[in-house]
Structure 1
Amino acid sequence: MMSVSVELRSVAGTEAAMGWAGAHAVVVDRPQGKAGGMGLGFNGAQLLALAIGGCLCNDLRYIAHGRGVVLGKIAVSVSVTLEGDPILATSATADITCETLDGSDPQVVIDAAKDICMAKNSLQRGFPVAITSS
């Protein structure tokens, strides 16, 4: 079994949080004027969309490398639909465009990346989330 962990801490002088994993960091905040937000970073829905899109981008590269295909440009656009109170993500749509440098059909790589995408597969199947306090 493999595990990934991140840490988040409040940012002094703001109501935002800084999140990090290893040497990589991201700022998490609400939009300007929303519950003390200053618009300094991504909100949760944006991070969810980025997780889906980022996972797909990486998986496109994993698949292409494994098949000896060199990819050129990759573009992934993700939209997450939010509904209800409390607000829930009820669906997400990702649109992928990529090119192969040898002119072969990129759809084979796209289809394989869709099949192995950890973020997509995890969200579709659902998984328990435990929240504790200390």
Structure 2
Amino acid sequence: MMKKYVLPTEGILLDSEEKAKNICHLFDSFYYEYFSPFFEKWNNLNVLYEFIKDKNEVEELESILGIFWQFKKAAILRLCNDENYQEYIEALVKRFELIFERRSESIDVRRYYNAAKELKEVLDKTEPVYNV
């Protein structure tokens, strides 16, 4: 879908009103056919929450939330006042703690473990935004 909206960056010479109209039409098409519907669908955190709340597969969550998806899911659960937040965040911290115990020499493992603990501390003090 996106490919048809990619404009060439070289070789465009707007030397006529007709060419300028064509470029404006491409931008309008992008806005009304892609940009606007995307933001209408994903207009608040509740929509994302409903989409991910029951997903547990690593590949699926990573493709939706990207890297550090575990931390993002924890934040979404907390902000949406999910009843499973506490269980999720405690399991997340425990998982990184176990990895840290086995590979304490790894700087990256230490960082993930510390980030998980810090995130839990911050989120536990954060009031939910949505009450689902």
TM-score range for the pair, normalised by the shorter chain length: under 0.3
Question: If each structure's strand is expressed as a fraction of its own residues, which one has the higher value?
Answer: 1
TM-score normalised to the size of structure 1?
A: 0.27
Higher helix share: 2
Larger Rg belongs to: 2
